[in-house]
Chain A
Amino acid sequence: MNNIDSINHVTGKSVYLDDILIQKGTLHAVVFGSSIAHGKITHLDISKAEELLGVEKILTYKDVTGQNQIGGIIEDEPLFAEHEVHFQGQPIALIVAKDEHTARKAITLIDIKFEEFEVVIDPRIAKEKGLLLIPPRTFRIGDIKNAWSKCDYISEGRVDSGGQEHLYIETQGAYAYPIDNGSIKIHSSTQGPTAVQKTASKVLGIPMNRIEVDVARLGGGFGGKEDQASGFAAMAALASYILQRPVKLSLHRLDDMKMTGKRHPYSSDYKIGLSKDLKIIAFQTTLYQNGGAAADLSPAIMERTLFHSTNAYYIPNTEVTTYSCKTNLPPNTAFRGFGAPQGMFVIESAIARAANELGIPTRTIQEKNFLTENDEFQYGQIAKSVNIGNCFSTASRLFNIEKIDNDIKKFNQENSLLKKGMAIMPICFGISFTNTSMNQARALVHIYQDGSIGISTGAIEMGQGVNTKMAQVAAKVFSINIKRIKLESTNTSRVANTSPTAASSGADLNGNAVLIACNELLKRLKESAAKILECSIDEIKLQDEQVLKNGQVTELSWEKLIIKSYLSRICLSENGHYATPIIHFDKSKEKGHPFAYHVYGTAIVTITLDCLRGTYEVDNVQIVHDFGNSINPTIDKGQIEGAVVQGIGWMTMEEISFNKDGRLLSNSLSTYKVPDIYSAPKAIECHALETVGPELAILKSKAVGEPPFMYGIGAFFAIQNAIETFNPNYKLDFDAPLTPEKVLMRLYEKNV
């Protein structure tokens, strides 16, 4: 079944933030950000800018009516810089004018001077200087100290992975206006409406019930609008509150790229030890997370790195430590995978180098160390329904890995300037917010008198199809045509205290809340039908828009049942509440059972490298993925393909670069490249592993948003594999992304 929005999408009728019909008198805002990455504001004069015809007001921290604070996990980020700035692009003021053009012009009239301070962009340097966002954390299992002596082979190294710009095609934005009762309504392009509500409430200094946040849909989010939408929404709300006028703030792409955080770059050291028979006995790693200038979601992301630093392997002695380092970059934030890709890249690099040093294929080590049933993760959870071995062996058999190997060998012998390379990327990804309290959701289901249904939840639709899945759930429970169901905008007045749509868990949490609400309504409807048909409730069944009694069609259609129930004063609305059972985690011990279940899969990635020019193409990504029992294979396949290409982008062409002064150089779409249609793999084949699916997934259909992103990591190793074939002098190094520049330099690297 296709996304329920697709017809509106292809006709251009879907409404995004900037498409909302604006009210008369709407003002437009532009953010004035710092031009330097670190320093003190010694002089700020906005008077000339404020005098410009058409400028209504310029807001600075002095105008904040509540607290000048937007930090979510830690209160360490001002809405507007007060005396110091900590990253280039940090908001200092908001220019509110009759139109965007005027506001932009006013920026040029702002007079500002800084005293510049030392800029730190390297997380290792930050760590040395003691610049940490939070104290470091360590996960441990086994006895790492004594494990090394048991290893026959030990290998060490350094691994670096770069940042990644979300590049949602719709930029950040918000539209706020005053409504009755001194309240403010905010339309925001956010994944976290409650975060927006909370932040605006704090900044404006009014209770949460005076702020209504509404989200129709996003033109992409990928994590970038989980936390970072809140600041911009709070700015629009503050301006609207102070001026009592509607205010729109829709970021220009250049401002969006400059002002918002990205995927965290990580730099890591590791040590890995293996036995003679290639079992990984010990793994120790220290990861330096480049957090940027404020905590944002970095603590939670760092936590997921700790959880996933051993990927799909069982390693009896593991010690992983992460430092969340404070640097002068924009506060880095959530991005599909949430710290897991960075962690997995380290263990995969460690295995690749060990294999290279031992002169064996990487997959020999991978295969020997996969998790098996009842293995213990370093965080104490016992692995259940483990499918990694199954995914790997199915992929090897189905896609005939021996033949792929042989074909590549043959190709490489026959071609001197083109070389093919291959890599295998296994994944294991835990589902649930690692912060247990966030694993809750509510759904408000109304059945209207005419039999149509409106569903409100806390989930945000951003292309991932969560609304479609929830409509499917309701349609299934009532056994009615899905066309009767409408998913409402996500609104904090209808569904309160929502968790952000993130951690791949949107459909699980909200879908289960919908399921609970619908089941309750179904019970009532059955009771009502039983009364009308004068039988017992057990004899009633709803099927294909009809009420069946003992399996026989009755005169009660869905519509008749609804109107009759309404007339008998039966409540046709229900609020479902879901909280994931079982999960818990004890931070003082760093042990627990944080995940409802894990998603497994394996990808075989093959590439062709042009060794003359240093350019490459991905030939094929062949996947065996554990979907559980997918309720929507079409949508899930779309998630796989999209995530794979995004993952490949992260590992190949997507290169964020800052100069030493902390100025973003890759600051536009002409300098920051994401995959286009020609850089997508020639083929992506995805086979669904046959499994039952876990009880805790919505209708046993596993979460699918993030896990396949990590298949893209295979592209790095496949390209590296081809470089090795061409240049025997190349000494493996692990510094992603592997851009055409890095590739060419490595192809012609000489042994030193």
Chain B
Amino acid sequence: MQTMISFILNNQLIKTDKPSGGSLLDFIRYDSNLPGTKIGCREGDCGACTVMEGSLNDEKISYKSIVSCLTPLGNAHGKHIVTIEGIKMECLSPIQNSFVANAATQCGFCTPGFIMSLTAHSLANEKSTKQKAIASVSGNICRCTGYKSIERAAEDISKLLEDKNINNPIEWLIEKRYLPDYFLSIPKRLNEIKENQQIANPNDVIIGGGTDLMVQKADELVESSINLFQDRKDLKGIKVENGRCIIGAATTASEIEQSSIIKEIIPEISSCFKLISSEPIRNMGTIAGNIVNASPIGDLSIIFLALNAEINLGPRILPLKDFFLGYKKINLQKDEFVKEIAFAIPTKPTLFNFEKVSKRTHLDIASVNSAIHLIVNGEKISSCSLSAGGVSPIPLFLYKTSDFLKGKAISSELIIQANEVMQGEISPIGDMRGSVDYKRLLLRQLFFAHFIKLFPNKVLASDLLSNSDMR
């Protein structure tokens, strides 16, 4: 039986029986005749298809940017989807005005995407800064302008937003003509849309944010029976219980990034996220999706491996280290799914660092990434968990290197020796993201970087780089 998908598209209530695994982008462009949202890649990498998604949480509505090409239509259910046509008013919005004034559009093909990302930015319940405005377009590629004019526009926009009411941005934004009036009526209208009862079938394809699956097999998903996870309340949220931090499987990367709980436990974690995908992709992609996808360079897998996380599969709980069996092979039975990821909250002061190098620093998959989590007692390392991606068929927990470091006093000498151990523990292959030699050298460098950053007084870069010999 086909469920009805119901959502508000701009100012219009939609009810459709189109397949929930089809893409929201196609629905917008071809079923709703709204051609302002563009297609550049269909893989989440250009941002031309960016729209805003508004969702209700305890009667309060919040908006974020998403890429419509990777959004399964079913994930739009109960949401407010806003395209460039949905912010049409009698005049240009101040964001559109800034783009015109700064000549931030040339061929114009990328422009609606940029405008929607920045409009989502204006809706955030926080103060705007130039950096944040720019971060909001981290998922938008422009091949014409060279971005400087877009930066100038972003700067102007953040200034205009300076006295925004961050508690009630919508009213303020309507008054200042960033948004049309109908936005005020949306929460009530969304409330009237009933939740869809999903009847799960073990053969259904589970989709979280769709940011891996829709890239890998969009054509198949249209014809598949889908089990939507992204909005499952029982799988969402971050909480602390019995000294453990528990993250629901459907929690998105952005939710982890912004979580006050995570910031309190290990503040360094939040700052890793700017190196992971882009704002709209983080707004969509879930933690379980990243782990189940089992890419050897999955950033969240690498981070949570270093946190010694466990993965809760309902009947079974496994250390995350044991979840990855081989290239894209995982320890998950047919009728199982991921419920949550949890890790013990460190009781002692801990050190955490994440490193990632890719061809392009932002919005790119790592050549090699690595995370380290240390507890230090005086001079000595009392516990160490080190992980690395891109150097083996799986996201790798480096057992031997971690063990080697445990109980030892930190010195440049030790780190150089540890690198030798580490090099014996990895088995990189040469591919698009780098040759074997490069990946080995790069992991060494990132490993050194952990210590140079965490122990600037004990470990000297010059010692590390002159004494050790790679090749």
- Chain A interfacial positions (CB closer than 8 Å to B): 2-3, 5-16, 18-19, 101, 104-105, 166-171, 217-220, 222, 252-253, 416-417, 462-465, 612-615, 634-635, 637-638, 640-646, 653, 655, 657, 665-666, 668-671, 673-681, 684, 739-741, 744-745, 748, 750
The stretch from B136-144, B173-181, B405-413 touching chain A is B136-144
Known: A12-B37, A678-B361. A744 touches B442 (CB 8 A): yes
Contact B109 A220, beta carbon cutoff 8 Å: yes
- A2 contact set on B, CB distance < 8 A: 100-101, 103
Contacts A11-B96, A679-B361 known; A740 to B146 CB distance under 8 Å? no
Can you show 21 pairs from A to B with CB atoms below 8 A apart? Answer: A6-B99, A10-B99, A10-B108, A16-B109, A18-B29, A167-B141, A169-B48, A222-B143, A612-B449, A638-B144, A641-B146, A645-B146, A653-B359, A669-B40, A670-B364, A671-B432, A677-B151, A741-B367, A741-B438, A741-B442, A744-B442
Q: Is B112 an interface residue (CB 8 A)?
A: yes
Question: Nearest chain B CB to A509's CB is how many angstroms away?
Answer: 20
* Per-residue A-contact encoding for B441-459, CB less than 8 Å = 1, 0 else: 1100110110010000000
B134 pairs with A677, CB closer than 8 A: yes
Specify which chain A residues have a CB less than 8 angstroms from the CB of B106 in the assembled complex: 3, 463-465, 638, 642
In the complex, identify which listed stretch (B84-92, B163-171, B230-238, B313-321) lies at the interface while the others stay far away: B84-92
Contact B38 A219 (CB under 8 A): yes
- Is B470 at the interface (CB under 8 A from chain A)? yes
Q: Is the CB of A169 within 8 A of B40?
A: yes
Q: How far is the CB of B9 from chain A (nearest CB, A)?
A: 14
Known: A653-B359, A740-B357. A745 touches B46 (CB 8 A): no
Instruction: Beyond the given A7-B96, A253-B41, A741-B438, please list 15 additional residue pairs across the A-B interface where CB-CB is below 8 A.
Output: A5-B108, A10-B100, A10-B105, A18-B35, A167-B141, A168-B109, A169-B38, A222-B143, A253-B42, A638-B146, A641-B145, A641-B146, A641-B148, A680-B146, A741-B359
Of the residues A220, A253, A673, A677, contact of B150 by C-beta under 8 Å: A677
Instruction: List B386-415 residues whose CB lies under 8 Å from chain A.
Output: none
Contacts of B425 in A (CB 8 A): none
Q: How many Å from the CB of B205 to the closest CB on chain A? A: 17
Check A666 against B363 for contact (C-beta < 8 Å): no
A252, A614, A655: which has the most chain B beta carbons within 10 Å? Answer: A614
Check if A16 sits within 8 Å of B40, measured CB to CB.
no
If the complex has contacts A638-B145, A684-B146, A684-B148, are A105 and B219 also in contact, measured as CB distance less than 8 A? yes
Q: Say which residue of B107, B219, B462, B465 sits within 8 Å of A170 (CB atoms).
A: B107
CB atoms of B35 and A15 under 8 A apart: yes
Chain B residues lying within 8 Å of A673, measured Cβ to Cβ, are 359-360, 364
Contact A670 B365 (CB under 8 A): yes
CB neighbours (8 Å) of A463 from chain B are 106-109, 144
Which of A645, A653, A657 has a CB less than 8 Å from the CB of B360? A653
Does B45 count as interface, using CB distance less than 8 angstroms? yes
Which residues of chain A are within 8 angstroms of B85 by Cβ–Cβ distance? 12
Is B327's CB within 8 Å of the partner chain A? no
Q: Taking the nearest CB of chain B, how far is it from the CB of A418, in angstroms?
A: 10
B147 contacts across to A, CB distance below 8 A: 641, 645, 675-677, 680
Q: Are B39 and A10 interface neighbours, CB within 8 A?
A: no
B471 at the A interface (CB under 8 A): yes
Q: Could you tell me the distance between the alpha carbons of A104 and B134 in the complex, rounded to whole angstroms?
A: 37
| Residues of B close to A740: CB separation below 8 A | 357-359, 367
Which of A6, A644, A646, A665 gathers most chain B CB within 10 Å?
A6
Main secondary structure of the interface of B (DSSP, over half): loop
CB distance from B451 to the nearest CB of A (A): 11
Which residues in A have their C-beta under 8 angstroms from that of B448?
612
B39 touches A416 (CB 8 A): no
Q: Which 10 A-B pairs have the closest CB atoms?
A: A12-B36, A463-B107, A219-B109, A9-B108, A463-B106, A12-B84, A645-B146, A669-B45, A641-B146, A19-B35
B222 interfacial contact with A, CB 8 Å: yes
In the assembled complex, which residues on chain A have CB atoms less than 8 Å from the CB atom of B144?
A: 220, 463, 638, 642
Residues of A within 8 A of B462 (CB): 416
Chain B 337-376, CB-CB to A under 8 Å as 1, else 0, gives 0000000000000000001011111111101000000000
CB distance from A8 to the nearest CB of B (A): 7
Known: A219-B38, A677-B150. A668 touches B103 (CB 8 A): no
Partner of A253, one of B43, B142, B365, B465: B43
Q: By the criterion CB–CB under 8 Å, are A13 and B36 in contact? A: yes
CB of B286 within 8 Å of the partner chain: no
- CB < 8 Å: which of A18, A634, A674, A679 contacts B39? A18
Do B362 and A676 touch across chains, with their CB atoms under 8 A apart? Answer: yes
CB proximity of A224 to chain B, nearest CB, Å: 10
B262 at the interface (CB under 8 A from A): no
- Picked from B110, B432, B437, the residue with its CB within 8 Å of the CB of A657 is B432
Chain A residues closer than 8 Å to B301, beta-carbon distance = none
Q: A11-B36, A641-B149 are in contact. Are A744 and B361 (CB under 8 A)?
A: no
Cβ–Cβ < 8 Å partners of B109 in chain A: 16, 168-170, 219-220, 463
A166, A168, A612, A680: the one contacting B445 at CB < 8 Å is: A612
B149 to chain A, nearest CB (A): 6
Contact B357 A12 (CB under 8 A): no
CB distance from B106 to the nearest CB of A (A): 3
Interface centre among B29, B92, B101, B363 (most CB of A within 10 A): B363
Cα-based distance from A646 to B360 in the complex (angstroms):
14
Please name all residues of chain A whose beta carbon is closer than 8 Å to the beta carbon of B442 when the two chains form the complex: 613-614, 741, 744
Closest A residue to B42 using CB positions: A253
Instruction: State the CA gap A166–B215 with chains docked (Å).
Output: 22
Nearest B-chain residue to A9, judged by Cβ: B108
B108 and A14 contacting across the interface, CB-CB below 8 Å: yes
A170 touches B461 (CB 8 A): no
Q: CB distance B43 to A668 under 8 Å?
A: yes
Assess whether B115 is interfacial by the CB under 8 Å rule.
yes
Q: Quote the shortest CB–CB distance from B432 to chain A (angstroms).
A: 5
Bound Cα distance from A665 to B437, whole angstroms: 19
Instruction: Note all chain B residues with C-beta closer than 8 A to A665.
Output: 432
Residue from A416, A643, A748 within 8 A of B146 (CB atoms): A643
A residues less than 8 Å from B151 (CB atoms): 677, 680
Contacts of A13 in B (CB 8 A): 36
B254 close to A (CB within 8 Å): no
Least CB distance, A92 to chain B, in whole angstroms: 20
Instruction: Indicate whether B158 reaches chain A with its CB closer than 8 angstroms.
Output: no
Instruction: Give the chain B neighbours of A668 by CB distance below 8 A.
Output: 41, 43, 45
Look across to chain A and name the residue whose beta carbon is closest to the beta carbon of B139. Answer: A676
Q: Give the complex CA separation of A18 and B26 in angstroms.
A: 12
CB distance from B87 to the nearest CB of A (A): 9
Residues of B within 8 A of A10 (CB): 92, 96, 99-100, 105, 108, 111-112, 115
- Verify if B267 is at the interface (C-beta below 8 Å from A): no
Residues of A within 8 A of B461 (CB): 416-417, 612
Which of chain B's residues has its CB closest to A167's CB?
Answer: B143
- Complex Cα gap A635–B104 (Å): 10
Q: Chain A residues near B138 (CB, 8 Å)?
A: 676-678
Q: Are A169 and B43 within 8 A (Cβ)?
A: no
Among residues 73 to 87 in chain B, which have CB atoms less than 8 Å away from a CB atom of chain A? Answer: 83-85
Which interface residue of B103, B106, B110, B151 has the most chain A CB atoms within 10 A? B106
Shortest Cβ distance from A685 into chain B, in angstroms?
10
Cβ of B437 and Cβ of A745 under 8 Å apart? yes
B7 to chain A, nearest CB (A): 20
Assess whether B417 is interfacial by the CB under 8 Å rule. no
Give CA–CA (A171, B143) in the complex, Å: 12
Q: Is B435 an interface residue (CB 8 A)?
A: yes
In the bound assembly, the distance between CA atoms of A681 and B147 in angstroms comes to 9
For B147, give the chain A residue with the smallest CB separation: A680
- Among B103, B138, B438, the one with the most A-chain Cβ atoms within 10 Å of its Cβ is B103
| B187 on interface, CB distance cutoff 8 Å | no
Contact present for A104 and B445 (CB under 8 Å): no
| Residue among B137, B140, B432 making CB contact with A666, cutoff 8 Å | B432
What's the Cα separation between A222 and B115 when bound, in Å?
A: 23
**Cα distance A719–B97 in the bound complex, in angstroms:** 38
In the complex, chain A residues whose CB is within 8 Å of the CB of B141: 167, 169, 669, 674, 676
